[in-house]
Amino acid sequence: MFNNGFTRSAAVLKGLLVVLACVSGAQCLDYYTEKPSYMQTCRINDPEFVKCSTTSIQKLMDQLGKGIPEVNAVIGPFDPLKVKEIQFAQDNQGAVTLHANLTEMVAIGLSKLVIKESKVSKKDYSWETKIYIPKLRLEGQYKMAGKILLIPLNGAGHMFIEIEKLNILMRTKTRLYEKGDFTFYNVTKIRMDLTPGGVKTNFENIFNGNSKEVERSTNLFFNENWREFFEALRPLITETVETTLLDILQKIFHLIPANFFVEDIPKSTELYAKGKAN
């Protein structure tokens, strides 16, 4: 009898905590029903749509850098941004054979992100976005075994990769759907082409701490030959950035209706009915 009473009291307390959380925070917000003041809406059939869309997405990125409580409740701070654990394997006969595990990672520098161009396809409402980041730093813990630029590696510890003057061409696949009276983007896939202007890196304990002098000279070699180093690690870096941004965009665009970005966006039933007809 005591256990039953305790269970009921615990359930009531839990319910009260949920109600208080909804009253005091933004975590219970399912999606926006009113357009925030920082957002700019465009019409895809307007000749100046690309210019308007570029400005609109830039305003959103700027606000993310300052902090949006409803978004922060879902993804946490935007800069520095927590990165999901990355498991990576690449087995080549050439310069790279690598098995890596990245944990406790953060991405630093996204608040300075510049949208150079934002295009939206009238056919399927997927995006092509040109992005510039002055400096993007990926930092955290790593475990690595394999070889980079023919150098055998086997270590674990703290690492960072700092990419300067990074240009990104991002191709994003979306699928429209409805919630309430609004149309939303479901971001299903991201593919990125990365073009860096410089790369700095440091891997601690890259030889399991057996030789600090060799560790220093190896990191120096990677920095002096940063183009080759970046090409060797391009698949890992690209996968890390793609995975991170896919998770962010999925969460943001489940929260903010597509109507707030594109005023004349069709409902999903209209768009996909046209596709079947064609």
Extract the tokens encoding 184: 């939303």
The CA distance from 182 to 257, in Å, is 6
pLDDT band at 276 (very low <50, low <70, confident <90, very high): low
Average pLDDT estimate for 184-196: 97
- When the pLDDT of each residue in the chain is averaged and rounded to a whole number, the result is 87
pLDDT (0 to 100) of residue 1:
43
For 31-277, CATH number out of 3.90.550.10, 1.10.357.140, 3.40.1080.10, 3.15.10.30 equals 3.15.10.30
17-70 pLDDT tens trace: 433 444 444 445 689 999 999 999 999 999 999 999 999 999 999 999 999 998
pLDDT (0 to 100) of residue 8:
45
pLDDT band at 10 (very low <50, low <70, confident <90, very high): very low
Using the Cα atoms of residue 166, residue 172, residue 178 and residue 182 in order, give the sign of their dihedral. positive
Residue 16 has pLDDT above 70, yes or no: no
pLDDT band at 275 (very low <50, low <70, confident <90, very high): low
Average pLDDT estimate for 229-250: 90
pTM over 0.95: no
Domain ranges for the chain, please list them. 31-277
